[in-house]
Structure 1
Amino acid sequence: MVDVLKIALGYQQHGFAVYPLAPETRTPLAGSHGYKDATKDPEQAKKWWGEHPNYNIGIGLDGVLVFDIDMGHKSEVNGNESLAKLSADGRAGQIPSTYVETTPNGGLHIFFTYPKELKLTSRSDLFSKNGEKTGLDYIATGVPVFPSIRENGMYQPLKGHKITKLAPAPQWLLNEIQRQRHPIASDYHSNADSWFGHFINRLVDGTDEGNRNQWLASIAGSVFRSGADPDNCADLIQTVNQRYVRPPLPNGELVKIINSISKREIARRS
């Protein structure tokens, strides 16, 4: 039987902050703050996993990003196939040898270091041109790690590499992440139909804990910039939070986002 507490303490000894996830899920405990609660304090780890050995383990990604290649996703997208096509087109290069875990769905979590000054968070469907699914994501906030389990399996490290020895992220991947964070305006806004389709795809895709604030701020900005009545925009964003954010952002935090974006947009219109 796996000693989860021993492994959690091991992550801390290797310099990683850890946080608990609900049993058999990648979801933070109810009332917690997910990766924001990650700690290197062994006493806190003993309290979490000593009392609840069925908790899964998440690690905070400080200066580390995970290149997530999805397989078995509900959208049926195949990240390996997407990456192969990108490589054939010259848009993606080789993946350096580094620490890798297989996910319960059969995908891969590939761990890299990156320059902290980039201040990365998370993003879905890298290399997407028109909002299509690629199954290629990145996460730089927090992720479940071995020996966490979900209903269809366990996160398992591939043999031959250690989480203490991570390769730097390849430049082609960092370039794409930067492109997604700062898209060229003409990519979407030159074609209203294309922009709206991209927005709808982003909206329905939703987001998970760890990227909620950034994602909702982005969605709210798009909604307010549509020119609709601010009160209607606020109502819509409340609905979006309940429907497409997993789990929904607490109302107090959501109101702060709405007020901030609303004030900015009202100032822009005046």
Structure 2
Amino acid sequence: MTPKQQALFCISQSIHVIAGYPVGKSERAIIKGTAEGTLNKDLVNAWFDEIPNRNILINLKNSNLICIDLDQHKDGQNGVKAFSAIWKENSQDKKLDTYVEKTPTGSGVHIFFKVTSEVFSKPIVNEIADGVEIKTHFTPIYPSKRTDGLYQPFKQDDTLANVADCPSWLIDMIHKPPKKQMASKIGKRTYGAEIWELFNQGATEGKRNNDTNRILHYWRRIGIDPSICMDLLLAFNNRTSPPLDDDELTTIWKSVFKMI
């Protein structure tokens, strides 16, 4: 399926399409002014006739969808294993049967569910377990590509038409994780806790650029607004010894949020 075919299929399913850039420097960015997504066929045709290989993203909230983003990072984080345990405990042996994509690295997974618009009227948590994040804004979808790989359906012939309704127990969980699950994190430092500890301490000389990139990528991943991230970044830089100069700091910020 080409990006244009996928985009047209999405709008046929009332899934709001966002225009991205082709693989390369701006591959994670979106075209300015398209973040809300569209169901306009003429506009979608124009976008993908102009750049046939541009990446395609969708606005989850406006499409009444959520995405469970399962990450696997260093230090033993395994979102796939964590979500499998959550599903097994709560689903009453019901098989997970919805549209799922593999992310470009091959280790990440995006699981899609339908929800009602009322779900977004309450606060939604950023994660329900270490490595199990809840995406409600926008996300790239197949056949988008990055320099490290491509998004692809977990099942070869699967499509977004097969997104299932989100179970009620999972809706309850994304509004407020169960106490026993929160308790399981006590004594175990999550990746998020590590990042906020880094924020409080500031970067150290020799790691300033790397630490600044790490903290910005985390903030971007959990959906903090770019302008707020810059305010936080200035506070972080003031704790860094010695701090980065303003021009270098701005360059890193623009790079992470694909503004250059």
Pairwise TM-score range, normalised by the shorter structure: 0.5 to 0.7
1:247 aligned residue: 257
TM-score by length of 1: 0.62
Q: What is the alpha-carbon distance in structure 2 between the residues aligned to residue 215 and residue 172 of structure 1? A: 34
Count of residues in Structure 1 that have an aligned counterpart in Structure 2: 217
2:78 aligned residue: 78
Q: Is the 8 A contact 1:206 1:244 kept in 2?
A: no
List runs of 5+ in structure 2 lacking aligned partners: 184-192, 200-214, 240-248
The SS at the match of 1:23 is coil
CA RMSD of aligned residues (A): 4.3
Q: Is the 8 A contact 1:34 1:209 kept in 2?
A: no
Residue pairs, 1:1-270, within 5 angstroms? 3-24=2-23, 27-29=28-30, 32-33=32-33, 35-36=35-36, 38-61=37-60, 62-71=63-72, 73=73, 77-86=77-86, 90=89, 96-106=96-106, 107-119=108-120, 124-127=126-129, 134-157=130-153, 158-159=155-156, 161-179=158-176, 200=196, 204=215, 206-208=218-220, 211-213=223-225, 216=228, 236=235, 246-247=256-257
- AA aligned to 2:163 is L
Q: What's the CA shift for 1:112?
A: 0.6
1:265 aligned residue: none
Q: What's the CA shift for 1:68?
A: 1.4
Q: Is the 8 A contact 1:69 1:137 kept in 2?
A: yes
Q: Is the 8 A contact 1:122 1:141 kept in 2?
A: no
Q: Deviations over 1:198-221 (max 9, x none)?
A: 88259646322792339949x98x
Alpha-carbon spacing, 1:175–1:161, altered in 2? closer, same or farther (3 Å): same
Q: Deviations over 1:40-72 (max 9, x none)?
A: 11221122111112210001212111111123x
Q: What is the alpha-carbon distance in structure 2 between the residues aligned to residue 81 and residue 112 of structure 1? A: 19
Q: Is the 8 A contact 1:83 1:92 kept in 2?
A: no
Alpha-carbon spacing, 1:101–1:52, altered in 2? closer, same or farther (3 Å): same
Q: What's the CA shift for 1:22?
A: 2.2
Q: What's the CA shift for 1:13?
A: 2.0
Q: Is the 8 A contact 1:121 1:139 kept in 2?
A: no
- AA aligned to 2:112 is F
Q: What's the CA shift for 1:118?
A: 2.1
Q: Deviations over 1:170-193 (max 9, x none)?
A: 23322221116x99xx99xxxxxx
Q: Is the 8 A contact 2:69 2:134 kept in 1?
A: yes
Alpha-carbon spacing, 1:18–1:122, altered in 2? closer, same or farther (3 Å): farther
Q: Is the 8 A contact 2:67 2:113 kept in 1?
A: yes
The SS at the match of 1:212 is coil
Q: Give % identity.
A: 22
Q: What's the CA shift for 1:92?
A: 7.4
- AA aligned to 2:160 is I
TM-score by length of 2: 0.64
Q: What is the alpha-carbon distance in structure 2 between the residues aligned to residue 80 and residue 209 of structure 1? A: 17
